Every structure is written in C-alpha cells, then in structure tokens.
Amino acid sequence: MIFKQLPSAVLWDMDGTLIDSEPYWMKSEGAFAKANNSTWTEQDGLSLVGMSLYDSSKIIKAKVGSDLEPEQIIAQLTDEVTAQLKQEILWRPGARELLLLLRKKKMKTALVTMSMHRMAKQVADAIGFDAFDVIVAGDDVLHGKPHPEAYLKAASLLGVRPEDCVAFEDSISGLKSAEAAGTRAVGIKNIVELPAEPGRIVWDTLEGVSLSDLRGLFK
C-alpha cells in the first residue's frame, strides 16, 4: 500500500490564524484615528486584514490625516499591539495543539506574517515550546502579501519546495500569497469571508486537525 505523504513543512500565518490578534489591531487603529481627530470604523479595520503593514499604514495615514510617516505609524501601532499581547495572547482554536503535534513529529514549521519580526518573536516565545524553525515577518521581505515572497522565502530557509508545504491563512491577501507561492494553501475561517475559487481549500477550524488531514491535502 502506498501511503499519502505528509507535508515537508507547515507554514503559519500569525494574526487571525495562530492568534486572535485582529481585535488588538483594530483597537489600536481606532485609538490612532481618535488621536488624529478622525474616525475608524470596524469595516475600515476589516479592509486591512492580511495586508502588509507598509501598505496598511499608508491607507491609515491618508484616512486619518496623520503627519507621521508610514514607518512611524507602523512602530506606534506595533508598540500598542505588543503591549496588549503582553497582557494576554488569545490562541486560535486548535492552532497551538496542532503546532505541538507537528513538533512532536519533528516536522519543519515557519511563522510567515506581515507583522514586524519583533512581534512575531514575542508570540513565538510565548507558545511554551520550540514551535518554529524560522520566522519570516513583514520587515524581512520587500513585498508584502498577497505577493508570494514571504512564503517562498520561508520554504527556501527551510530547504523545502513550496509545493511540498502546507500553509494556513485566514485572510484573502494571505491566502493569495500562499497560493501564488505554490503551497497547499488552506484558508481557515475567521473574521473575513474567504471567497470560493476553483481548487481553493477552506476549513472551518484547525480544531481537531490531524496528521491524516494533512496527508489528505496531497492526493
């Protein structure tokens, strides 16, 4: 009998996939807008989910009329979100459990996020075990999601082919990035709708996901 293969590596988005941090970002964006005598709606926040901080900060700057440069906006928002994460990190259902299972099986993993590297490391360090072989963050690449650079770089650093990797994402831009890189991209439902497209894989949750489920992606 020929068994289906396991992925060579599993690549993880962070915000909204590994941790439930989108409310922290939206709270910080709203506070930033208020400080600039402007408004920031829930829909404004949702429109930025999965986008690179460099792109989203330009949108925020234009929307609220800030005098700060995009890099300054990124630093300020990151500081505020990391402060909230120090108080509490909310893990997405099943994510931490699946990560632990993968590591027990000696599988390669990477954290691939558009948040800054210092925030990604903060989250990785808080997991409680050695969860990732590499971290590729927004300040580690030239092109943010939906460009495939981040996923291609993660696969390269791990020494594996993108097409042999599974990537978990919760946003449209992130899913497009993972798909464009050639990974077996899996959308995990969260706060933004992931539209159905031919060949696209979307799961309701990571809760209860097993190694057999990962094998099933390589039919």
Question: Whole domain around residue 76: which residue ranges?
Answer: 22-87
Please count the structural domains in the chain: 2
Model pLDDT for residues 172-201, shown as the tens digit of each residue: 999 999 999 999 999 999 988 999 999 999
Q: Is residue 171 part of a domain?
A: yes
Residues 126 and 61 in one domain: no
Q: Is residue 1 part of a domain?
A: no
Residues 59 and 167 in one domain: no
Residues 62 and 163 in one domain: no
Strand order in the sheet with 184-188: 134-136, 108-112, 9-12, 165-169, 184-188, 201-203
Say if CB 188 and CB 92 are below 8 A apart: yes
Residues 14 and 54 in one domain: no
Alpha-carbon gap, residue 162 to 171, rounded angstroms: 19
In the predicted structure, residue 168 carries a pLDDT above the cut 50? yes
Residues 107 and 208 in one domain: yes
Residues 109 and 135 in one domain: yes
In the predicted structure, residue 3 carries a pLDDT above the cut 70? no
Q: Is residue 16 part of a domain?
A: yes
Alpha-carbon gap, residue 81 to 28, rounded angstroms: 7
Residues 83 and 118 in one domain: no
Other C-beta atoms closer than 10 Å to the C-beta of 163 total: 13
Say if CB 140 and CB 146 are below 8 A apart: no
Q: Is residue 3 part of a domain?
A: no
pTM of the model: 0.90
Model pLDDT for residues 21-72, shown as the tens digit of each residue: 988 988 888 888 888 888 888 888 888 887 788 888 889 988 888 888 989 9
Residues in a beta bridge with 184: 166
Residues 160 and 200 in one domain: yes
Compute CA distances 113 → 104, 105, 186, 211, whole Å: 23, 23, 15, 23
SS3 188: strand
Q: Is residue 73 part of a domain?
A: yes
Q: Which two tokens stand for residue 30?
A: 């709203």
Residues 72 and 96 in one domain: no
